[in-house]
Structures are given as structure tokens and as C-alpha cells.
Amino acid sequence: MKKLLLFVVIVLLLALASLYYFIPANLVIVETTHVHCVADAGFRALSNDKSWAAWWPEKGSQGKPVDSVLFYSLGKHQFGLSKKLHNNFEILISSEKDILPSEMNLFSIAQDSSLLKWQVTIHAGNNPFERISAYNRALDLKNQMHTVLAGIQTYLSSFRNVYGFQYRESSTKDTMLISTKTTLTHLPSTAETYALVEKLKTYCKGDCKVTGPPMLNVTPMQDSNYRVMVALPVNRMMLPSQDVQPVKMVPGKFIVTEVVGGTGAVKKAHEQIQHYFQDYRRTAMAIPFEYLITDRRNELDSNKWVTAIFAPVY
């Protein structure tokens, strides 16, 4: 009987020792995924936690902000972005038991890719039953983190999701132009823009043929003014005048995208193109310009305006 009792005690001690050996006091969960997106672009896309609903695995799981942190639910946990540094996030993981801080990092690993690493530590404690409970929670949380990263991976692999537009690399068939410019203290209105267009059409009338829609560039200047340049593609080179100059444009490589919307949408597209240039180390060879595809005088609803942006690039 004593031998049997001793045997049971030894087995229990070995089981307890194994438990403490295989389930440490601190359980570190690490999940990684490869993303077809550079780190800086991925960081910008994930920094706006209100946009997480677009890729979050459980639709309609967005909750109310708690202490300015917006939480999203998945399984038994809620996840919220609490802090952000350069290519680094602190994400709070909340449950009925506690709130755990976790760290998510983006690392550039290639010219067009990055590695997303997410890590959290669960303190299992000294009580053996608490360690078993913590281990089971860790397994569940690891699966949820994997699911979240899969959603991020799919979302960031879409160029349109990251930058808000789709683009193509192309050239332009319009190489002969006539142009005019002016300086304004404000962004040009529709009337002011098309007054310059009509000036060019009057200059061209009878001597050349307009072959495409108006082209526009608005450049902010250091004195808070705006330089406004308008051009028209024509079928032959013209002589210069006091207000109108011929331009011979060399066909080159352009980032081209079409934007539907008013000046705000066009401005945002220009900003995103510059982000793309910086993210992928592309070089802007000259100033960008816009084709005013929609005649703004005939279509008063700016939400229906179509603008083609051409950004010269190397």
C-alpha cells in the first residue's frame, strides 16, 4: 500500500514538473505573414483604425470606442489600436479576464514586400490550473491572431486598397501643345480655368486643330499664390505669342489613373501618387498634369467629373 501511494506521489510530482516545464510562466505568442506591400504603405493603411472594418474577419463586429480605442471583436477577444509609431503598432487585446498589450511590426524585406510580425505575452502565473487555462487561451488567441493577419494580408495585397486608386504605366500621344499660364491667390475656379481654355481655342482657331481635352497643372508657390497652367493638344506646332506658348512634349513613361469626383478627390489622388513614388523609390521626372475629361461647365455635379492624371516617372 505504501509503495502504491509512493508511486502515485511520484507520478503526480512528475506530471507537475512536466506541466511547469512545458508551460512556462510567460507564454509568448508570435504570428507572422508576408505582405505584397512595402512597409511604409502598409503602416499608413493600417493606421486608420476606422478603416479596419474593410478587412476585419467578422463583419459588423466594430464596437464603441473605450478610452479613445476602437475595438473589433473576434471570438472571445476584442482588438483595438492604442498606439502607433513608425511601422509599429501597440494593439490591445481585451477579454473578460484582462487586457493584454501586443506589438505589431512591419519590416521591409524586398522592394515591393514586407513582413508583418505580431507578438503578445500571456502571464500564466504559478498556479498549475491557471497555467493550463492560460495555455488553452494562448492556443485560441494564436488562431485568432492568425485569422486577423490573413485579413490584413489580403487587404494590403490590393494596390487600390492601399493607395485608393488603380494605375497603369503608359505614354501620351499628345506631344504638340499650346499653353498659357497665370498666377492666382487662390485655387482656380471652373470659370477661371475655362477662361484660359477659351483663350487657347481662340488663338488656335483657323490655324490649328484641337485634338484632345484641356490639360491643367496647378502648382502652389512659396508666396501662397498658385501658378495655373492650361494647355491644349493640337495637330501642329504653332508660333508663340505674348500669352500663348507652343510646347513640344517628349513621350515618356507616366503613371496614369482616372479619378471620379471633384477637386478634393483629385488632390487626394495626387497625394497618393506621391506616396507611391516615395514608397517604391520612383523618381518624378516633371510636374504632373490633369486631363479634364469632363467639361465642368456642362456637368455641375462635381461627383461625376472624370479627370485623368498623368505623372511623369522614371
Model confidence pLDDT, tens digit, residues 206-254: 889 999 999 999 999 988 899 999 999 999 999 999 999 999 988 889 9
pTM of the complete model:
0.81
The total number of structural domains that make up the chain? 2
Residues 42, 86 within the same domain: yes
As a whole number of angstroms, the distance between CA 233 and CA 147 comes to 52
Average pLDDT score over residue span 282-310:
95
Strands 226-233 and 176-184: antiparallel
pLDDT category, 63, cuts 50, 70, 90? confident
Query: Maximum distance among all alpha carbons in the chain?
Result: 118
Q: Which helix (H) or strand (E) holds 140?
A: helix 128-156
Residue 137 has pLDDT above 50, yes or no: yes
Residues 180, 300 within the same domain: yes
pLDDT reported for residue 23: 56
Residues 39, 149 within the same domain: yes
Domain termination site, one of 113, 146, 163: 163
pLDDT reported for residue 266: 96
Q: Which helix (H) or strand (E) holds 105?
A: strand 99-110
Residue at 2 is within a domain? no
Residues 130, 193 within the same domain: no
Cell of 133: 487555462
Average pLDDT score over residue span 155-170:
92
Residues 182, 304 within the same domain: yes
Domain termination site, one of 163, 186, 202: 163
DSSP state, 98?
Answer: -
How is the beta sheet containing 215-220 ordered, strand by strand?
168-170, 254-260, 306-312, 289-292, 215-220, 226-233, 176-184, 245-248
pLDDT category, 20, cuts 50, 70, 90? very low
Residue at 20 is within a domain? no
Residues of the domain holding 75? 25-163
pLDDT reported for residue 96: 86
Average pLDDT score over residue span 72-100:
93
Domain termination site, one of 98, 131, 163: 163
Residue 19 has pLDDT above 70, yes or no: no
CB 133 within 8 A of CB 58: no
pLDDT reported for residue 207: 87
Residue at 83 is within a domain? yes
Residue 7 has pLDDT above 50, yes or no: no
Residues 157, 82 within the same domain: yes
Residues 185, 256 within the same domain: yes
Residue 16 has pLDDT above 50, yes or no: no
Residue at 4 is within a domain? no
Q: What angle do CA 112, 117, 119 make, to 5 degrees?
A: 170
Residues 144, 201 within the same domain: no
Average pLDDT, the chain: 89
Residues 6+ apart with CB under 8 A from 301: none
CB 114 within 8 A of CB 35: yes
